[in-house]
Amino acid sequence: MELNSIKPADGAKHYKRRVGRGIGSGLGKTAGRGHKGQKSRAGGYHKVGFEGGQMPMQRRLPKRGFKSALLKFNAEVTLSALNQLEATDIDVLVLKQAGLIGELAKVVKVIKTGNVTKAFNLNGVGATAAAKAAIEAAGGSVA
């Protein structure tokens, strides 16, 4: 293979359509733009969501709800997920390494879903009242 013999694959390249170059080209006169109207004019187009002057959908519908930007730093862990861990001393770093919470998580809380059989010691990890009771009943502690 030589540099001067390299060609693109068949169908990979195509010629640019030259419009407005006379009747014989098949793309003369209106140059494929049809007759009149906003889309036939030079520079004539609309912004995204424009509905021809009608009140657009995003303005017709009510504003609703709020999503805090801080939510990405919060995480929840269930008791059944804790039960699958080998370690008994649990902190945020252990949970991140186990893949139970995301890398961005800073505030972690244990919720009571499932049950716990081992005695876990939680450090720097919160727990709901019911989860705390379940952990302490199994012989663990929440700090």
Neighbours of 47 (CB within 10 A): 6
Among the listed residues 127, 23, 31, 140, the one whose alpha carbon sits nearest the alpha carbon of residue 78:
127
pLDDT given at position 21: 94
pLDDT given at position 1: 84
95, 77 contact by CB (below 8 A)? yes
DSSP bridge pairs for 108:
75
Distance of CA 107 to the CA centre of its chain: 21
Structural domains of the chain in order of their starting residue, each with its CATH number:
69-142 (3.100.10.10)
Strand 141-142 to 74-78 pairing:
unpaired
DSSP string, 79-136: HHHHHT-S-SEE-HHHHHHHTSS-TT--EEEEE-SS---S--EESS-EE-HHHHHHHH
Q: pLDDT digit of tens for each residue in the chain (143 aa)? A: 899 999 999 999 998 999 999 999 999 999 999 999 999 999 988 899 999 899 999 999 999 999 999 899 999 999 999 999 988 899 999 999 999 999 999 999 999 999 999 999 999 999 999 999 999 999 999 98
